[in-house]
Each structure stands twice: as C-alpha cells, then as structure tokens.
Amino acid sequence: MQATEKDQYVEFGIEAEQYAIRIHDIHEIIKMQEITQIPSVKPYVKGVINLRGKIVPVLSLRKLFGMEEAPAEKSTRIVVVNHLEDTVGIIVDRVNKVATFSDIQPPPDRVGGIDGNFFVGIGLTAGGLVGILRLDEVLLHE
C-alpha cells in the first residue's frame, strides 16, 4: 500500500501494542466516561454513552482482540469515529500522537494473535511498527 505524506493517522496504544486510525475517520477523542451497559450484545460492545444528546455505542478493542480487560486509567480515552452513517466510540489505553507513515506494508494473515483482516496495513515508524485499523472490519465484526 502506498502512503502519502498527507495521510495522517492518530496513533494510540493498547497494552504495549500501537495502532492507528486515519485522522479523517475520527470525529473526536474524549476522556473515559460512564458507559451504560445494554443487554444481549456482543462481548466487545461495552454499552452506550450520551455524547451531547447523541447515543453512541462504545466498543472495547481489548475484548475484540482477545485481551484481558483493564480498569480505566487517567490516560484511557474513547476515540469517537465516523463510519458510514454511524458514530461509534472505541476505548483505547492511551492516545499517543498524530503520525504519518512513509511506508505502509500489507498486513500478515495474523498480527500477534489478531486476525490480519482487522488491519489495512502496518505502518513503519522510527519507534516501531503500528497496526493501521480497517474500520469496516473492526466496527462490523461478527
């Protein structure tokens, strides 16, 4: 995959791993807040929040990726993304920075035990490798 210098991503961390989402897809980043649980949902759906009068579902990437849940800390954030006609929140341990990648490689079939379909590619940085998430796969995961 060819990356251009104009493509900007928000890089964030879950445990020791680094991930990114195109900045164009991000609505806003908010501090962790109380999440209202809803019954009969997938295990990685934490519930919903009220974002200035709009009800927004919130997902846990930790659960989706098969990691153990961790209590929210001061650095925990909800990355609110726009996808199709929906707004969805994604819980992350920390938001690191806005990044650009000079090189993006195709993802392998598995990335550290996580299905490679979750990723558009792997961005190469001076600090290491960053998995660039494919929102379609993350948000519409069955």
Q: What is the pLDDT of residue 30?
A: 97
* Phi, psi (rounded to 5 degrees) for 141: -60, 135
Instruction: Provide the pairing of β-strand 86-92 with 54-60.
Output: parallel
Query: CATH assignment of 9-139?
Result: 2.40.50.180
Q: Which of 28, 20, 24 is nearest to 120 (CA)?
A: 20
Q: What is the pLDDT of residue 112?
A: 61
Q: pTM surpassing 0.75? A: yes
Q: What is the pLDDT of residue 20?
A: 96
How high is the mean pLDDT in each 10-residue block of the chain (142 residues)? 68 93 95 94 93 94 89 95 91 94 84 74 87 87 61
Which structure tokens are listed for 63? Answer: 């659960």
Q: Where are the domains of the chain?
A: 9-139
Q: What is the pLDDT of residue 4?
A: 47
Q: What is the pLDDT of residue 77?
A: 97
